[in-house]
Amino acid sequence: MSYSKYYSNKYDDIFTMLKKEGYNTSYMHGNYGYFWNRENVYKSFGVDNLELKDKFEDQSENIMGYLSDELLYRQAVEKLKTYNMPFFSYIVSASSHTAFTLDGLEDRTKVNIDVGKYKDSFFGNYLESMNYADYAFGIFIEELKKADLYDDTIILVYGDHNGIDMYNEEMLDFLKQTNENLNDVDIKLNYIRVACGIKIPGIENLKIEKPVNKLDIKPTFKYLVEGNDENIIKEEKSERERKEVSLGTNMFARKDFVSLNNERIVTSKYYFDEKWFNKIDGTEVILEELPEEERNLLEEYYNDMKQEIEISTSISINNLLK
């Protein structure tokens, strides 16, 4: 709704933030500008290079209507080579989007996963689609290396949203083969999780164990471009101590919890969905049996979640950022 109604607003967005830091900015997507009003939105953000489908010379392969990931990535690197440094680019691939049929992929040998009994099922198509997306992303990385743009570049990759229905029968059958104790909380957590990884020059083998969400991307980049990458592991401030001019928190700060817009909460130990559950075994948490300090903390998380959703909803409905 905000993209459609409020695209002309001036936001303190990630592109504006990085332009102030001297970065050339770009947005790339293998679809046309009218889709989700992207052309108007990113023009209003003042993006230096808006690279939508009509800006890509080679449109010979389209998957489900979008420029194939491989063609997008190959041409994206060619464009990156022409930008002034430093640059920031937001690249949106779509070959792994539902309905996962890969319609339009000319060379099916690029899908090299054997999905076995799931062949031609929705879940099987999903696995094949992810396999192709992985293949194409590998090409992107190799092209960056060839262009000498890999070593000194921060690369963050994440999924836009969940993949398939959380109770898909084939998927649950697959998951139970690797986790015979799969429970309903496991299923719901799998549904809200998305893939996320980040490469930072000079940082190796760092795994973020705490819950983070997409709102944390902007403050994380702010933290990194300010030259703090060498101090990441120090985790100097907690979420409650930081005062970001943004929703979200630097991923490398100590974080207590994340809340979702459907009133769900994820912490390191617990999951809230109308009731609190233990993430380890899926059992319901009896609040009265918890130590008082921990019980009060969960109550505080719940109140914070309600407040965050109220603020977010008010911003969207009432256009509070105009």
For the chain of 322 residues, list the mean pLDDT of each consecutive stretch of 10: 72 90 97 91 94 97 96 98 97 95 96 97 97 98 98 94 91 94 95 92 87 90 77 48 60 85 93 96 96 96 92 80 72
SS3 string, 221-287, reads: HHHHHHHHHHHHHHCCCECCCCCCCCCCCCCCCECCEEECCCCCEEECCEEEECEEEECCCCCECCH
Residue 182 one-letter amino acid = L
State the pLDDT at residue 241.
Answer: 42
Domain of residue 275, CATH code: 3.30.1120.170
Asked whether residue 197 is domain-assigned, the answer is yes
Within the chain, how many helices (H) and strands (E) appear? Answer: 9, 11
State the pLDDT at residue 137.
Answer: 98
181 CB-side CA count, 13 A: 5
Asked whether residue 245 is domain-assigned, the answer is no
How many angstroms separate the CA atoms of 102 and 237, rounded? Answer: 45
**Domain check: are 208 and 260 in the same one?**
no
State the pLDDT at residue 47.
Answer: 96
**Domain check: are 230 and 270 in the same one?**
no
| DSSP 8-state secondary structure symbol assigned to residue 294 | H
Domain of residue 91, CATH code: 3.40.720.10
Residues 192 and 260 sit within 8 Å (Cβ to Cβ): yes
Which one, of 243, 237, 250, 239, lies nearest residue 208 by Cα? 250
Which residue range(s) make up the domain with 313?
A: 256-322
Domain count within the chain = 2
Asked whether residue 65 is domain-assigned, the answer is yes
**Domain check: are 53 and 11 in the same one?**
yes
**Domain check: are 172 and 283 in the same one?**
no
Asked whether residue 84 is domain-assigned, the answer is yes
Residues 7 and 41 sit within 8 Å (Cβ to Cβ): yes
**Domain check: are 138 and 23 in the same one?**
yes
State the pLDDT at residue 81.
Answer: 98
Which one, of 236, 229, 279, lies nearest residue 258 by Cα? 279
How many angstroms separate the CA atoms of 136 and 96, rounded? Answer: 10
**Domain check: are 122 and 214 in the same one?**
yes
pTM to 2 decimal places: 0.89
> What tokens appear for 67 in the block?
């420029």
Asked whether residue 250 is domain-assigned, the answer is no
**Domain check: are 130 and 217 in the same one?**
yes
**Domain check: are 211 and 113 in the same one?**
yes
Asked whether residue 162 is domain-assigned, the answer is yes
How many angstroms separate the CA atoms of 238 and 250, rounded? Answer: 10
Of the three residues 210, 237, 264, the one that is the final residue of a domain is: 237
Residues 52 and 29 sit within 8 Å (Cβ to Cβ): yes
**Domain check: are 159 and 93 in the same one?**
yes
State the pLDDT at residue 316.
Answer: 77
How many angstroms separate the CA atoms of 284 and 122, rounded? Answer: 32
State the pLDDT at residue 244.
Answer: 41
Name, in order, each residue with C-beta under 8 angstroms of 67's C-beta and a sequence gap of 6 or more. 30, 31, 53, 56, 59, 61, 94
Q: At what angle do helices 169-178 and 122-146 cross, to 10 degrees?
A: 70
How many angstroms separate the CA atoms of 239 and 255, rounded? Answer: 5
Asked whether residue 244 is domain-assigned, the answer is no
